[in-house]
Amino acid sequence: MCGIIGYCGPRQAAPILLDGLKRLEYRGYDSAGISVGINHELTVIKQTGKIHDLRVHVPAEIAGTYGIGHTRWATHGGVTNTNAHPHVDNSGKIAIVHNGIIENYTAIKKKLEEKGVEFFTETDSEVIAHLIAQNYTGDLEKAMKDTLPVLEGTYGIVCMHADEPHKLVGARNGSPLVIGVANDEMFLASDVTAILAHTKQVVYLEDGHVVTITDDEFTIVDMSDRVVNKKIDEITWDLQEIEKGDFKHFMHKEIYEQPESVVRAFRGRIDREAATARLGGLNLNSRELLDIERIKIIAAGTSFHAGLVASYMIEQTARVPCSAELASEVRYRNPIVERNTLYFAVSQSGETADTLYAMRELQRKGARVLGICNVVGSTIPRESDGGVYIHSGPEIAVASTKAFTSQITALYLFCLVMARMRHMSFESGEWYIRNLTDIPDKIAEIFNTADKMQVIAKKYCSFTDFLFLGRGINYPVALEGALKLKEISYIHAEGYSAAEIKHGPIALINEETPSVFLVPDDRLREKVVSNMKEVKARRGPLIAIATEGDMEILDIADDVFFVPKVPELFYPFIMVVPLQLLAYFCAVELKRDVDQPRNLAKSVTVE
Ligand code: M6R
């Protein structure tokens, strides 16, 4: 949830660190800090607020050609300048930045205090600086290695020493660190976005490995001091993908990227001659695929909603029982792993702690878990038994949009594989592919009338409670619409199956509670129309997302946003986009911090 960057090279470190932190801001952003070294001294500057707030406190003349930086999302200790990273030891010579949580920090702190160490912060992370100092005998890498066995919990750590200039030492356990390799300069970061402006050559560090970087080389060793040779990977993203371009917000840009990101999720994976999909990363042969009797999807937040959508499609089309569950619930209920059950861990970031820990628990019980992830090299794909990258490109806005439609695309491709192996005919396979590959154009059509949603948002954004209602495969889309609205506009919203409102939520309906109905022209349309009339009878304002040409809805709802017609099971792609736009325009209207809403972080690496 926090972000790390480190730099060693010929250039002044501070601007590079600040620029990297700016790009990491989306991960966690209540405070930030940097430490740069020169002439056997470290200068540490920390500040609550945004990177802009830190930047104004960094003197223009600050000198130092190696350094570390951090954006913090507070877990242990309040949001204060002191609690921000980097943390230093009592000599002021060692500085560290840390992502993760040191679970046994209280015991470590007590022991260190008994030895006379003075603590300045309320954080768990500060113990790392003091432990390294205690273990330091002139070799920072050795001090780091002697420190790690004492730490319980998760960490990505980078440290520097004033007396070992142009050297950074990093280590990871459950929190990502990547090495950036450039000409005569090296980087360490928690996320490639921080260093993409400088290099596309990266090495992903593994848990249990310690890396030392200098200006021109990196060395990785394991805890037994064996040198680890790792290949350098090339990042396929371009810098412009992590910049807003002509858009004011990343979220807006990412909503508009969906026609392209959906294509990226299916490109190269469709076998038209066999009317099926080819997903090499599944690591399952035909026999194993045929033996699957049940599919379970675990995920959190928006990824969970994508999993729910896919569960409808997979059951109805592949006729294989499929369910989606919140990963946070799976982990602690001692899940039963049955034979011939295939699990999917769905996660944009690939780092979500709830999903990762649930996946590990399932794997311990013998489950085969495949990942559906976006961030290449992240922990879930690395630890899963195979999977599919969705290739959405970087998703920077905290509110997930393009990842949702791409996750569904990947799971729909898997559904096609399963269905074609079972009962689906060649012709039906062709029909399915045609409809899936038509989706990008249908999404693009929605943007032609986006201004209508802006008008709707203006009209309704001052209401404080919303209901989002849908049925069948659009029920999870209603959940997603409510999540989007609340997370970026801070308007209270609930998602329900439209059928469920009569079992309770209808008590909330009055002139002050708008309902957003998803009412495509599918099998359940008449039922949803009845539910709309029930709300209308109680004077609840009605917004409908309906299929173009459905004129009856105009008479029932106060405001209607029309979407293109698609077959029933493909509507989630088409229904979710207006809801993303509604949330976006409401948040803009209310002058919210669209890309970095309060209290949230892009990747939730704590439980
Ligand atoms: O990276 P993940 O897909 O695993 O993240 C899961 C949730 O934290 C995430 O979807 C969250 O709900 C988003 N803020 C939703 O917009």
Residue 301 near ligand 1, beta carbon < 6 Å: yes
- Domain ranges, residue 545: 250-589
Query: Cβ–Cβ contacts within 10 Å for residue 69, how many?
Result: 33
Pair (258, 229) in one structural domain: no
Question: What's 459's domain CATH number?
Answer: 3.40.50.10490
Q: What is the pLDDT of residue 480?
A: 98
User: Please, which pLDDT band fits residue 327 given cuts at 50, 70 and 90?
Assistant: very high
Pair (131, 169) in one structural domain: yes
**Residue that finishes a domain, picked among 174, 207, 235:** 235
- Alpha-carbon span 519 to 156, nearest angstrom: 47
Asked whether residue 607 is assigned to any structural domain, the reply reads no
User: Please, which pLDDT band fits residue 253 given cuts at 50, 70 and 90?
Assistant: very high
- Those residues whose C-beta lies under 8 Å from the C-beta of residue 400, and which sit 6 or more positions away, are 301, 302, 303, 348
Say how many Å lie between the CA of residue 348 and the centre of ligand 1.
Answer: 7
Q: Taking a C-beta distance cutoff of 8 angstroms, is the pair 69, 34 a contact?
A: yes
What region does 586 belong to: left with phi over 0, alpha with psi -120 to 50, or beta?
alpha
Asked whether residue 602 is assigned to any structural domain, the reply reads no
Question: What's 176's domain CATH number?
Answer: 3.60.20.10
Asked whether residue 604 is assigned to any structural domain, the reply reads no
Residue 399 near ligand 1, beta carbon < 6 Å: yes
Residue 347 near ligand 1, beta carbon < 6 Å: yes
- Alpha-carbon span 33 to 11, nearest angstrom: 19
Asked whether residue 487 is assigned to any structural domain, the reply reads yes
Pair (224, 268) in one structural domain: no
Residue 302 near ligand 1, beta carbon < 6 Å: yes
pLDDT in tens, 76-85: 888 999 999 9
Q: What is the pLDDT of residue 200?
A: 94
Asked whether residue 606 is assigned to any structural domain, the reply reads no
Segments of 334-404 assigned E as strands: 341-347, 368-373, 387-389
Structure tokens at 584: 């976006």
**Residue that finishes a domain, picked among 175, 206, 235:** 235
Q: What is the pLDDT of residue 591?
A: 96
Q: What is the pLDDT of residue 378?
A: 86
For the entire predicted model, the pTM comes to 0.86
Dihedral sign of CA atoms 359, 362, 366, 368 in order: negative
Residue 111: active-site member = no
Q: Percentages helix, strand, coil for the chain, rounded to the nearest 5?
A: 40, 25, 35
What region does 239 belong to: left with phi over 0, alpha with psi -120 to 50, or beta?
alpha
Pair (66, 149) in one structural domain: yes
Q: What is the pLDDT of residue 600?
A: 84
Pair (205, 268) in one structural domain: no
Q: Give a three-class secondary structure readout of 479-514.
A: HHHHHHHHHHHCCEEEEEEHHHHHHCHHHHCCCCCC
Q: Taking a C-beta distance cutoff of 8 angstroms, is the pair 521, 570 a contact?
A: no
Substitution candidate for ligand 1 out of 251, 254, 303 with most atoms within 8 A of CB: 303
Contacts within 8 Å (CB) and 24+ apart, 223-227: 223/145, 223/148, 223/149, 225/145
Q: What is the largest CA-CA distance in the chain?
A: 79
Asked whether residue 603 is assigned to any structural domain, the reply reads no
Pair (282, 198) in one structural domain: no
Closest atom of ligand 1 to CA, residue 354: 4
- Those residues whose C-beta lies under 8 Å from the C-beta of residue 64, and which sit 6 or more positions away, are 12, 13, 14, 36, 37, 38, 42, 43
User: Please, which pLDDT band fits residue 29 given cuts at 50, 70 and 90?
Assistant: confident
Structure tokens at 139: 């070799």
In 3D, which of 29, 60, 28, 23 has the Cα closest to residue 43?
60
Number of structural domains (the chain) is 2
Pair (376, 283) in one structural domain: yes
Asked whether residue 509 is assigned to any structural domain, the reply reads yes
Residue 115: active-site member = no
**Residue that finishes a domain, picked among 206, 235, 264:** 235
Q: What is the pLDDT of residue 417?
A: 98
Q: What is the pLDDT of residue 28?
A: 64
Say which of 2, 322, 373, 586 is annotated catalytic.
2
Find the angle CA(312)-CA(315)-CA(318) to the nearest 5 degrees: 125
Ligand 1, atom 9, lies closest to the CA of 301
The mean predicted confidence, pLDDT, of the chain is: 95
pLDDT in tens, 486-531: 999 999 999 999 999 989 988 999 999 999 999 999 999 999 999 9
Asked whether residue 599 is assigned to any structural domain, the reply reads no
Say how many Å lie between the CA of residue 50 and the centre of ligand 1.
Answer: 22
- pLDDT at 300 > cutoff 90: yes
User: Please, which pLDDT band fits residue 239 given cuts at 50, 70 and 90?
Assistant: confident
Substitution candidate for ligand 1 out of 604, 605, 606, 607 with most atoms within 8 A of CB: 604
Residue 137 Cα distances to 218, 375, 485, angstroms: 21, 38, 54
Residue 348 near ligand 1, beta carbon < 6 Å: yes
Structure tokens at 19: 């620029």
Helix, coil or strand: residue 423: coil
Pair (293, 415) in one structural domain: yes
Cα separation of the two ends of the chain: 11
Q: Taking a C-beta distance cutoff of 8 angstroms, is the pair 600, 593 a contact?
A: no
Pair (173, 260) in one structural domain: no
Pair (387, 437) in one structural domain: yes
Pair (223, 335) in one structural domain: no
- Alpha-carbon span 117 to 110, nearest angstrom: 9
pLDDT in tens, 165-191: 999 999 999 888 999 999 999 999 998
Among the ranges given (74-78, 388-392, 448-452), the one the predictor scored with the smallest mean pLDDT:
74-78
pLDDT in tens, 193-216: 899 999 999 999 999 999 999 999
Helix, coil or strand: residue 307: helix
Dihedral sign of CA atoms 433, 438, 443, 446 in order: negative
Pair (472, 568) in one structural domain: yes
Q: Taking a C-beta distance cutoff of 8 angstroms, is the pair 302, 403 a contact?
A: yes
pLDDT in tens, 334-374: 999 999 999 999 999 999 999 999 999 999 999 999 999 99
Q: What is the pLDDT of residue 2?
A: 85
